[in-house]
Chains A and B, each alone.
Chain A
Amino acid sequence: MQREAAKPVGGSFLEEVISESGVDIRGCYQCRKCSAGCPVVSAMDMIPNRVIRRIQYGKREEVLRCGSIWVCASCHTCSVRCPNDIDFAHVMDALRHMALRSGIGVGEQIPVFHKAFLDSIKGTGRVHELSLIMRFKLKTRDFMKDAGLGWQMFRRGKIKLLPQGFSGGKEVKAIFDAYERGATR
């Protein structure tokens, strides 16, 4: 991992990504090993080595708008196999953070799910799965998807109807206040 080695300098999109992720992607020589081992590459609109190339070309909007950054499952296969030790999985995290902050719209439902997940933690400290699913379905309006599977799991005692109480509400609230203010950066 090269996170410590990166030297952030202002200006280009490349420099912005290096600074945000702490990963120096300038060493990429396009061997495509990241894309060859990526399990979700067939669902990507821009394959991993091309994401790096587009960053180097300064294509900010194109990269932050692409579906690939959300389809990435954070499996870290690319990072462990990179011959230049580029932690690309971490770069993908940084690109997602930048995309969310920049307000660039994406066609994927994935960030909508993440928002529902975080709202769930903010509300009750823990994620109550049934509430999360309902929260997400209210946003996507796809109520019947996996309904049969949900019933099977309910019958087997895997779905709790009510969330649990918890302590630590104030601390969790403070963490989310800081997140929403963007105060930590």
Chain B
Amino acid sequence: MREVTYYPGCSLHGTAREYDESFRGVSKLLDVSLHELEGWTCCGSTSAHCSDEALAVALPVRNLRIAERHDREMVVPCVACYSRFKAAEAGAKAHPEYLSSPYEAKVLVRYALDFFCDAAMIEALKAKIVKPLTGLKVACYYGCLAVRPPELTGVKQYENPVHMDRLMELLGAEAVPWSYKTDCCGASLVMTRTDIVVNLSQRILSMAMEAGADCIVTGCTMCHANLDTRQAGLRAEGGRNAIPVLYFTEAMGLAMGHRETGKWLGRHVTDPVKVLADKGLL
């Protein structure tokens, strides 16, 4: 049993509910015990770092100080929160004056995708695959913050990352090569400049279809929301005008035969059930 602290973040308690459910589900099957961070608050997200540097450091550090009370690594599924934690660690070091008291960054913060890609978790996962995703072509979409800035994420291949591709191949899926893995979807501009987000997201969706993918797989709540919900009017590609978008944890749950996978997938706006059923996977 591996004990970790779990920071869900605001989205996983709302629009990214299936990410929370599938993350908890696969963690349990892989013998990872999650301890939700007690009294957690928002990381500040885009709005804090666009408004004030000290605020963007202080809000994540409040959570990191709680995490430090426990001798556990902290796993963060929302890559936007993860990015703010890593930036706050660096910011607290460079600008201690931003904080009311010093913070030493002793807790190891890990993005859920990186966590499941480490050697020990891969070994555990291998033994648990009961329904390989044979015949499913996936386009792995990392988005921005899972890889950039590389000084904070530690990802070496930040222009063409492959760790999610390898994870999907381990599950039995075929990860298609494509060139939009780390292109931006427009993220939080969806509320204010929906036009930009629709434009960027539909380009990514079209390219995934052109690459022959049956579905897109991602690990970012903002990417998922934008790609899943902004498909109206999508240019038809090879007779299709929609492509489902899965969280990588949902794909893991599917391959591990988690009995609640259908419930998670039922929360999507672009229905993934038909595509997966046609492949005999659901």
A: residues with CB less than 8 A from B are 1, 3-4, 22, 39-40, 43, 70-71, 73-77, 79-80, 87, 89, 93-94, 96-97, 100, 108-115, 117-118, 120-121, 125-130, 133, 136, 145-146, 149, 152-153, 156-160, 164, 166-168, 171-172, 174-176, 178-179, 184-185
Which segment of B132-140, B148-156, B168-176, B243-251 sits at the interface?
Answer: B148-156
CB pair A153–B269 under 8 Å, yes or no, is: yes
Please judge, given known A-B contacts A3-B94, A152-B269, whether A93 and B41 are in contact too, CB under 8 Å. no
CB pair B158–A80 under 8 Å, yes or no, is: yes
Collect the chain B residues with CB atoms within 8 Å of residue A112's CB: 192
CB pair B150–A73 under 8 Å, yes or no, is: no
CB pair B184–A172 under 8 Å, yes or no, is: no
Interface residues on B, range: 35 or more
CB pair B10–A118 under 8 Å, yes or no, is: no
Complex Cα distance, B188 from A136, in Å, reads 13
Collect the chain B residues with CB atoms within 8 Å of residue A70's CB: 50
Please judge, given known A-B contacts A96-B50, A166-B41, whether A108 and B192 are in contact too, CB under 8 Å. yes
Not counting A40-B184, A71-B196, a sample of 13 additional A-B residue pairs whose C-beta atoms are within 8 angstroms of each other reads A1-B149, A39-B184, A43-B195, A87-B149, A114-B47, A121-B48, A126-B40, A127-B10, A128-B14, A145-B194, A158-B16, A167-B39, A171-B41
CB pair B47–A174 under 8 Å, yes or no, is: no
CB pair A136–B191 under 8 Å, yes or no, is: yes
Please judge, given known A-B contacts A73-B184, A73-B186, A109-B192, whether A184 and B268 are in contact too, CB under 8 Å. no
CB pair B47–A113 under 8 Å, yes or no, is: yes
CB pair A159–B14 under 8 Å, yes or no, is: yes
Complex Cα distance, B11 from A111, in Å, reads 20
- Asked if B193 lies at the interface with its beta carbon under 8 angstroms from chain A, I say yes
| Main DSSP-derived SS at the A contact region | helix
CB pair A40–B14 under 8 Å, yes or no, is: no
How far is the CB of B19 from the nearest CB of chain A, in Å?
11
Collect the chain A residues with CB atoms within 8 Å of residue B149's CB: 1, 76, 79-80, 87, 89
Which segment of B24-32, B52-60, B106-114, B254-262 sits at the interface?
Answer: B52-60
- Asked if B183 lies at the interface with its beta carbon under 8 angstroms from chain A, I say yes
Complex Cα distance, B155 from A80, in Å, reads 12
How far is the CB of A77 from the nearest CB of chain B, in Å?
7
List the A residue with the shortest CB-CB distance to B144.
Answer: A75
Complex Cα distance, B40 from A176, in Å, reads 16
Collect the chain A residues with CB atoms within 8 Å of residue B131's CB: none
Complex Cα distance, B195 from A182, in Å, reads 34
How far is the CB of B261 from the nearest CB of chain A, in Å?
15
